[in-house]
Amino acid sequence: MLMTLRATCIAAATAIVPAVAEAELGPLVEPSDLRAAMTMTEPTVLDIRSAETYREGHVPGALNAPYGLFRGPSDNPGQLVSEGHMTEVLRGLGIKTDTPVVVVHQGTDQTDFGAAARVYWTLKTSGVSPLAILNGGMNGWTEAGQEIATGPAPEITPSEITVSYSDQWLATREDVKAIVDGEENAQLVDARPEAFWKGQTKHGAAAQPGTLPQSRYFTHDRWFGGDEPARIKPELIRQLAAENGFGPDDSLVSFCNTGHWAATNWFALSEVAGIEDVRLYPESVVGWSNAGYEMANVPGLFENLYNKIFGRY
């Protein structure tokens, strides 16, 4: 729950908005519920858009932490940043391990949601909780008629958090190799579109096209439905998880090109569908292929030449 109330304010808050005191805000929070929570518990609202976009309009009181702070270098953007770097970032934002945090993205489309999911995963892996993502992002907040603030971020009192990553939701390159080698039992789930999985196209930073051996694909955009492409649909997630054989006792590792789309699959299966053993492989295919490990669905010589000639990669 993002609404753990201090004993001194329970009676007053309940008298004003009694229904809100019982509302659960995580892992997804609707604009109206976030607005109500902000009047009572003051969760940290973390806007991960660019500084310029943030200044043009944001949730009142939100802090700005652009997505790039949570990403690796250009040659391996999905790489998990160092614990020292994340410690510095979270201290500068005044975040402690018990700070309730709501992540806000733009809310443009399914790919945009992946940024929020990746930040959520990084914060959870860093030991921060409770957490939520604003469903629909800033666009959803605006469409709901909620108040918007402009200008620079408020002053922040730094925290003294020290980040130590948990391995509960993290799959390392060594973990994935153990799965590929049959030393560990888990299912590798590729969040990319089918063309990536088949090796018909690739990310520009990947050494070669293809996918991880023994993987299946389940594209990241299927959780949203067709009518509202920027909003996660919890009921659809639970339905699709059951229909596609993702069960509560499964061990799953989500990956993509750079751990962005894969974060959406991780969020849907772990946080919404409630499957306990779901991990994210952050560096994904770019890190794996550049390290020279075995790939599946790699096109042959002539198909590879054809793909290059016709601009598939």
Architecture of domain 173-309 in CATH? 3-Layer(aba) Sandwich (3.40)
Instruction: Dump pLDDT digits (tens) for 41-84.
Output: 789 999 999 999 999 999 999 999 999 999 999 999 999 999 99
> Which residues touch 124 (CB under 8 Å, ≥6 apart)?
131, 166, 169
Strands 101-104 and 44-47: parallel
Domains 7-143 and 173-309 fall in the same CATH topology: yes
Please indicate, yes or no, whether the overall pTM of this predicted structure exceeds 0.85.
Answer: yes
DSSP state, residue 211? B
ω into residue 229 within 30 of 0, thus cis? no
Architecture of domain 7-143 in CATH? 3-Layer(aba) Sandwich (3.40)
DSSP state, residue 43? P
Q: Which of 70, 83, 79 is nearest to 291 (CA)?
A: 79
Side-by-side strand order, sheet with 101-104: 28-29, 131-134, 101-104, 44-47, 63-64
Instruction: Dump pLDDT digits (tens) for 98-152.
Output: 999 999 999 999 999 999 999 999 999 999 999 999 999 999 999 999 999 999 9
Give the range among 61-65, 192-196, 226-230 with minimum mean pLDDT: 226-230
Q: Using CA atoms, how far apart are residues 244 and 78, in angstroms rounded to an integer?
A: 27
**Rounded to whole angstroms, what are the CA distances from 206 to 74, 81, 235, 276?**
11, 19, 35, 30
Q: Using CA atoms, how far apart are residues 313 and 310, in angstroms rounded to an integer?
A: 8
Sketch the domain layout of the chain as residue ranges.
7-143, 173-309
**Rounded to whole angstroms, what are the CA distances from 201 to 58, 259, 264, 313?**
37, 17, 21, 5
